[in-house]
Amino acid sequence: MFFNGFKKWLLPTNLAIYIAVFCLFLMVCIIGIEWYYHLKPCILCQYQRYALIALIFSSGFAYINPNIGLKMMVLSCLTGLVLAIYHTGIERQFWYIQNGCLGQLSFHQDTSIKDALEHVMNQDVEDCRKVHWRFLKLSMAEWNIIFQSIFIILIIRSYLLWRNQNK
């Protein structure tokens, strides 16, 4: 009985909706926490958000075309997972990056070297090595590893179930 209910939950259209809603909830929570605690995200945090946004959009594709959409969802999750693992490694000092995180730098062609150096030195960028907020002793990057891993397992299971039903 439970397995049949779980199979319905794993249907690509249902799973796409659940994951998209959960990702939207995560984004609202992340932005709310940053606003409430006056935190600024580092560049790796921002990249992980892009992966979540890509997951939301690929969920829409999975709702319309499960064959392509589920593959796009896995790709979005893998991207987010790699970024989260890399970010966690920096936070836990498994590997070292020089000067924390570098933000996005953009210059016009007529920018002088002096102006460029001043821009770099005065840029307001959060350090990726610092964890400013934890929940249950895990950083947000570590939570992202957990969520992305679960998503990947569920999406692959959903794809296999869908493929077996459509043979």
Looking at the chain, the whole-number percentage of residues with pLDDT higher than 70 is: 77
The reported pTM is 0.78
Mean pLDDT of 62-88: 92
Query: Which tops the pLDDT comparison, 103 or 137?
Result: 137
pLDDT surpassing 50 at residue 1: no
pLDDT surpassing 50 at residue 114: yes
Query: Which tops the pLDDT comparison, 4 or 95?
Result: 95
Q: Spell out the CATH class of 8-97+112-165.
A: mainly alpha
Looking at the chain, the whole-number percentage of residues with pLDDT higher than 90 is: 34
Per-residue model confidence (pLDDT) at position 74: 95
Q: 34-43, 67-76, 86-95, 107-116: which has the minimum mean pLDDT? A: 107-116
Measure CA 71 to chain center.
Answer: 16
Mean pLDDT, all residues of the chain: 81
Residue boundaries of the structural domains of the chain:
8-97+112-165
Helix (H) or strand (E) holding 105: none
For residues 140 and 133, the answer to whether their CB atoms sit within 8 Å is yes
pLDDT surpassing 90 at residue 109: no
Helix (H) or strand (E) holding 166: none
Query: How far, in Å, CA of 92 to CA of 136, rounded?
Result: 16
pLDDT surpassing 60 at residue 122: no
